[in-house]
Amino acid sequence: MQIESAYIVGAGKEDADMEEQFLWMDKRMDARQGVREECGVFGAFDVEGHDVAPLVYYGLMALQHRGQEACGIAVSDTAGPRDAIFRKKDLGLVSEVLQDAAAGEMHGNLAVGHVRYSTTGASTRENAQPLVLHYLKGALALAHNGNLVNTNALRDELAYSGAIFQTTTDSELIAYLIARERVRTGSIEAAAAAAAKKLKGGFSLVIKSPRKLIAMRDPLGLKPLCIGKTGSCYVAASESCALDAVGAEMIRDVLPGEILTITAEGIHSDRTLLQKKHAKCVFEWIYFARLDSCIDGISVLEARRRAGRFLARVNKAEADLVTGVPDSGLAAAEGYALESGLPFGLAFHKNSYIGRTFIRPSQEARSSGVRMKLSVLKPAVAGKRLVLVDDSIVRGTTMKNLIRMLRTAGAKEVHVRISAPPFLYPCYYGTDVPTEKQLIASSHSEEEIRLMLGADSLAYLDVKHLPEMAGTDEICAACFLGTYPTELPEV
């Protein structure tokens, strides 16, 4: 266990020595290239003073699908000194890194936690969260899901006013802004509100000050966030599955633009940043969120089933069996089967001990990763005409390999149905959609993709069905349409 301070505040750029200058420039360039992240956040405040670290551990375990690269917890006691905070963070899974938290060795009744998946070079321990900073009012810890689009402007503004950065994340800029505003405002929630006005892009945040837990969500609602309660403990989490995992009752989703402050006296809601226009990431329902979660009142399971039903209605194939790619395509496959009246069955066994193949660095590694993760259930597919449903095609690696494996196992036909529209544009808000160059659909027609995959037919969900699938028209579908709800980041 370690006590860490994460900031050097007040040293001017001109004052820093040469080595620091180079380090800063390096990190700044890294940041300009864009550290994209897909993350999960969890916060807990037990108003009767019980330890919360074990609960945060289980909450983060339930959010592990949102990030497998790094994780951490920062915890303190609301009755203790204002600047005492214990943080554990590192590269690795929750079960590997946070054993101390599970074992009850991290004490305190107020905590925030984070799981992280970054997609560019900055896979370092220093970029793991929660971020902790010690400033005038004590210790502040922050965990962030989402990406800002005005990172460069903020970084320059802060750097030229004397900030020296310890990480390459945009999350550090948020922490820095809040700390700076806190010196000028009367409370941490006022500081968070003042900082939030300067942020553009995706941010669902859990923040802990020495005595308060704050949960806030960007005004567009790009990333999910909800709150709940178990016994005397308030919790905030990226997804409702994490509330279920700790036995908490869902109170509600945090509203887009809302700042919730949880203190020993209860919950206070600041709605001054609320706006009419929302843009909730539709990919949360398609793929990213866990199947048992409910996001903004919409069940992920039901949304995926609806996507499958649309596919069956519009693109029904003559087939003997409907199957899905585990786990991401199964619910949509079930929807397809229900709508088409075709039987649903499993075609693959999944080895649950292998991580996501998507994050493997090379194409070759990704291909062998698919085979390691999924093996064909031969008796289920031999001699059959199959409808194979998955949530998305990015580079095409997964689908191409799966079709080859199914044919080797004796499948007669493979009709691919994708429960999302073709990925055509990058995401700037925190979901990992690679650059256009790597997106197979941005440079190939549907027929070319079908041939490359070796499928008998191929169909995607029509973009016009996205709002009905998600149960709301307040969605961000920029990765499919190329229309973004904010300004674009400068390159």
Backbone angles phi, psi at 411, to 5 degrees: -65, 135
Q: Does 344 bind ligand AMP (CB under 6 A)?
A: no
Give the residue with the Cβ less far from ligand AMP, 189 or 432.
432
Least separation in angstroms between CB 282 and ligand AMP: 12
Q: Does 147 bind ligand AMP (CB under 6 A)?
A: no
Interface pick for ligand AMP out of 432, 476, 477, 485 (rule CB under 6 A): 432
CA proximity to 7, closest of 171, 119, 223, 245: 171
Backbone angles phi, psi at 141, to 5 degrees: -130, 145
Q: Does 394 bind ligand AMP (CB under 6 A)?
A: yes
- How large is the C-alpha radius of gyration of the chain? 23
Interface pick for ligand AMP out of 393, 406, 466, 477 (rule CB under 6 A): 393
Give the residue with the Cβ less far from ligand AMP, 227 or 466.
466
Give the residue with the Cβ less far from ligand AMP, 94 or 142.
94
Interface pick for ligand AMP out of 396, 454, 467, 471 (rule CB under 6 A): 396
Q: Does 37 bind ligand AMP (CB under 6 A)?
A: no
Question: Which residues are identified as catalytic?
Answer: 39
Q: Which stretch binds ligand AMP (CB under 6 A): 65-73, 91-99, 299-307, 425-433?
A: 425-433
Coil vs helix vs strand at 12: coil
For the chain, what is the largest distance between any 2 Cα atoms, rounded to a whole number of angstroms?
A: 73
* Cα→Cα distances 248→55, 228, 229, 238, 377, Å: 10, 6, 5, 14, 38
User: Cis bond leading into 130, ω under 30°?
Assistant: yes
Q: Which stretch binds ligand AMP (CB under 6 A): 61-69, 315-323, 333-341, 427-435?
A: 427-435
Q: Which stretch binds ligand AMP (CB under 6 A): 80-88, 155-163, 389-397, 448-456?
A: 389-397
- The H-or-E segment that residue 45 falls in is strand 37-46
What's the rounded Cα separation, in Å, for the pair 82 and 485?
A: 39
Q: Does 398 bind ligand AMP (CB under 6 A)?
A: yes
Give the residue with the Cβ less far from ligand AMP, 76 or 431.
431
Q: Which residues contact 480 (CB under 8 A, 6 or more apart)?
A: 282, 420, 421, 422, 423, 424, 425, 463, 466
Q: Does 390 bind ligand AMP (CB under 6 A)?
A: yes
- Residues numbered 254 to 283 that lie near ligand AMP (CB under 6 A) are none
What's the rounded Cα separation, in Å, for the pair 112 and 146?
A: 16
Tokens found for residue 416: 């691919």
Give the residue with the Cβ less far from ligand AMP, 196 or 418.
418
C-alpha triplet 366, 370, 375: angle, nearest 5°: 165
Q: Which stretch binds ligand AMP (CB under 6 A): 82-90, 249-257, 410-418, 428-436?
A: 428-436
Q: Does 431 bind ligand AMP (CB under 6 A)?
A: yes
- The H-or-E segment that residue 302 falls in is helix 300-314
What's the rounded Cα separation, in Å, for the pair 297 and 334?
A: 21
DSSP single-letter state for residue 325:
-
Is the CB of residue 165 less than 8 Å from the CB of residue 152? no
Least separation in angstroms between CB 314 and ligand AMP: 21
What's the rounded Cα separation, in Å, for the pair 56 and 34?
A: 29
Q: Does 392 bind ligand AMP (CB under 6 A)?
A: yes
Least separation in angstroms between CB 389 and ligand AMP: 11
Least separation in angstroms between CB 48 and ligand AMP: 39
Give the residue with the Cβ less far from ligand AMP, 55 or 479.
479
Could you identify the residue written with the tokens 């900082």?
Answer: 195
What sign has the CA pseudo-torsion 403, 408, 409, 410?
positive
Q: Which stretch binds ligand AMP (CB under 6 A): 214-222, 227-235, 302-310, 390-398?
A: 390-398
Least separation in angstroms between CB 393 and ligand AMP: 5
* Cα→Cα distances 380→230, 347, 370, Å: 44, 6, 19
Least separation in angstroms between CB 361 and ligand AMP: 13
Q: DSSP per residue over 121-168, as a string? A: S---GGG-S-EEEEETTEEEEEEEES-BS-HHHHHHHHHHTT-B-SSS
Q: Does 397 bind ligand AMP (CB under 6 A)?
A: yes
Least separation in angstroms between CB 128 and ligand AMP: 19
Q: Does 391 bind ligand AMP (CB under 6 A)?
A: yes
Q: Does 323 bind ligand AMP (CB under 6 A)?
A: no
Q: Does 358 bind ligand AMP (CB under 6 A)?
A: yes
Q: Does 328 bind ligand AMP (CB under 6 A)?
A: yes
Count of residues of this chain found to bind ligand AMP when the rule CB under 6 A is applied: 17
Least separation in angstroms between CB 476 and ligand AMP: 14
Least separation in angstroms between CB 41 and ligand AMP: 17
Contact footprint for ligand AMP (CB under 6 A): 287, 325, 328, 356, 358, 390-398, 431-433
